[in-house]
Amino acid sequence: MGIITAVFGSASAAEGARLELLSGGVAEQRIRLMASPQIDPIAGEYPGQPFANQPGQADRPPGDHARSHPTCSLEVEVGSPAEAERTVAVLDKHGGRRDV
């Protein structure tokens, strides 16, 4: 059906969601956890530019850590609408942001 992606403000929150998805029957090869190489807020941005100076960032709310400095993202391949609904519930429960 597709892939659902969420970003998390902490590695522990993303890992909690991953573990719950696994215990709920989602196969490990259908889940991808990607952590930022550094917790540094400049990591992964345009070289030498703080996040606020990057294109498209002026409209983001200040202090929104999960959107302004995600430390982890989780991608889940889902095969049905029911599985997508269960996946979204788990990601939301663990604080995953899907509207990025």
pTM: 0.67
Q: Is residue 41 part of a domain?
A: yes
Is the pLDDT at 67 greater than 80? The verdict is: no
pLDDT of residue 58: 55
pLDDT-derived band of residue 100, with 50, 70 and 90 as boundaries?
A: very low
Domain span at 58:
2-93
pLDDT tens, residue by residue, 6-57: 999 888 899 999 999 999 999 999 999 887 655 445 445 555 555 555 555 5
Residue 48 CB contacts under 8 Å (≥ 6 apart), including other chains: none
Q: Cα–Cα distance between 18 and 93 in angstroms, integer?
A: 12
Q: Is residue 19 part of a domain?
A: yes
Q: Is residue 37 part of a domain?
A: yes
Query: Please, what's the largest Cα pairwise distance for the chain?
Result: 44
Is the pLDDT at 61 greater than 90? The verdict is: no
pLDDT of residue 40: 45
Q: Is residue 99 part of a domain?
A: no
Q: Is residue 17 part of a domain?
A: yes
pLDDT of residue 32: 92
Q: Does residue 28 come out as left (phi exceeding 0), alpha (psi in the -120 to 50 range) or beta? A: alpha
What's the structural domain count of the chain? 1
Which whole number is the average pLDDT over 60-78?
66
Q: Is residue 98 part of a domain?
A: no
Q: Is residue 16 part of a domain?
A: yes
Q: Cα–Cα distance between 91 and 57 in angstroms, integer?
A: 24
Q: Is residue 71 part of a domain?
A: yes
